[in-house]
A = this chain, B = another copy of it.
Amino acid sequence: MLIKPRTLSGFKDRLPQDALRKEDIITTLMQTFRSFGYAPIETPHLEYAEILLNQGGEEIKKELYRFQDHGERDVALRFDLTVPLARFASQYKQELGLPFKRYAIGNVFRGERAQAGRYREFTQCDFDFIGSTSINSDAEIIQVIHDSLKALGIERFTISINNRKIMNGLCAHLGLESQTESLLRIIDKKDKIGDEKLKEELEKLEVGSEAVDSVLQFVAQNGTDRAFLEQVKSSAYNDLMREGIDELIHAFAILESCIDSDCLHFDFSIARGLGYYTGMVYETRLTDCPGIGSVSSGGRYDNLTQTFDKEPLPGVGASIGLDRLLAALDQLGDTPTTSTPATALLTLMDAAHAPEIYRIASQIRQAGIALETYPAPDKMKKQLSYANKKGFAYAIFAGESELESRTLTLKNLITGEQKEQVSLEVAITTLAEERS
């Protein structure tokens, strides 16, 4: 009996044209991370459930893919790359030395309710700067976000920045220390729910209308430059708020010197839901895809490894949401048109020519050009229809007369233009131009 070929609900395959683009994006991101000295690390997809559970919230516990392995160990698939990093950093801290800068690009698993655009297995791209408390490292993480998006050809985006210290200072001033987390969780939704609903939600906390007004007024503030930060600082309620603002001023001074600082935006409504952030936090939105949400978020945490180690280990890091980024590129009309990584298809006109054809293919490849050889002497119409379907830029013909004269015929499949009696050298130059 035949089995119906299908994937699990919430899981997806990628066909060549999607997978090619995703792989190209990952390569660009890796190069960017590496250019700053971030090194890759690798941890298993499967861990002791105990390792993962202790740092995940209630939500995560429900969504964890957890089971007993062959040795009756309680194991689970990782739900993010941060908890494995914490485990890794504690386990190897002697060998690694500090500071330690790593990136990790890998799949994580969450048994969420199935919904459009959300997958139960998805790819995360994380980069973290561990063991430094210097604001320079916070600035660098923001610079990496900036350089990564630029390297991907994305020009219009905003990195919105806040500092937990400012928010904690505000809460302290209002006597709301014990409610800081609930407060931040509500503020985090501002963008989604709007100001009116935000007010309603804050009122439910029963902190008094004066506090609600103060919070609403404060989180409505935003600006793009040092002058704005200085002005907020001058009216800050306490030292903790001033410390937080000074950190932003410091980071801004660095970032102004090394990135297009027009993309920076200070916004006190940026809260980041996650509990472990303790300093600067940020989110990144693409100007032309507002509906997609943040494509890169991150921040500073005081103690990454607290469940594994008594000694605190501070750090700062961010994550690029690859699936969102791919969705954004689709929205921006940057849809891939080819499902082949090769520039040209070398056709096969006569079975007896195969050794010659394979030799020519090899010579073109040695010049750095990706080239596919059609494997059988099928009708030329069939070979060309294959070439067009896959999206090759060129078809190359080498029949009897070409082989005799040691030339090639090149057909540009986009313009339809055909050049005959092209030498191998000229063919290589033409193909190399196409590729770039």
> Within 8 Å CB of A44, what residues of B?
7-8, 11-13, 121
Selected contact of A37 from candidates B67, B342, B354, CB within 8 Å: B342
Number of copies: 2
Q: Chain B CB within 10 Å — which of A17, A309, A354 has the most?
A: A354
Q: Is the CB of A373 within 8 A of B3?
A: no
Q: Is the CB of B39 within 8 A of A30?
A: no
> Within 8 Å CB of A372, what residues of B?
36-37, 101
Q: Is the CB of A342 within 8 A of B65?
A: no
> Within 8 Å CB of A51, what residues of B?
3, 5-6
Instruction: Give A125 to B95 CA distance when docked, in angstroms.
Output: 29
User: How many whole Å from A87's CB to the nearest CB in chain B?
Assistant: 5
Interface positions of A from 75 to 97, Cβ below 8 Å from B: 75, 77, 87-88, 90-92, 95-97
Instruction: Give A241 to B107 CA distance when docked, in angstroms.
Output: 47
| A362 interface residue per 8 A CB criterion | yes
| A302 interface residue per 8 A CB criterion | no
Size bracket, chain A contacts = 35 or more
> Within 8 Å CB of A258, what residues of B?
355, 358-359, 361-362
Interface positions of A from 113 to 154, Cβ below 8 Å from B: 121, 129, 132-134, 136-137, 139-140, 143, 147
Question: Contacts A7-B47, A38-B341 given: A129-B375 contact, CB under 8 Å?
Answer: yes
* Segment of A19-27, A169-177, A188-196, A205-213 engaged in the interface with chain B: A19-27
Chain A contact residues, CB within 8 Å of chain B: 2-9, 11-20, 22-23, 27, 30, 34-48, 50-51, 54, 63, 65, 67-71, 73, 75, 77, 87-88, 90-92, 95-97, 99, 101-102, 107, 109, 111, 121, 129, 132-134, 136-137, 139-140, 143, 147, 253-254, 256-259, 305, 307-310, 339-342, 345, 348, 354-356, 358-359, 361-362, 365, 369-373, 375-376, 386, 389-390
Instruction: List 15 A-B pairs, Cβ < 8 Å.
Output: A5-B91, A8-B48, A11-B44, A13-B43, A34-B342, A35-B370, A37-B370, A39-B341, A45-B107, A63-B70, A136-B354, A136-B358, A254-B354, A258-B355, A258-B361
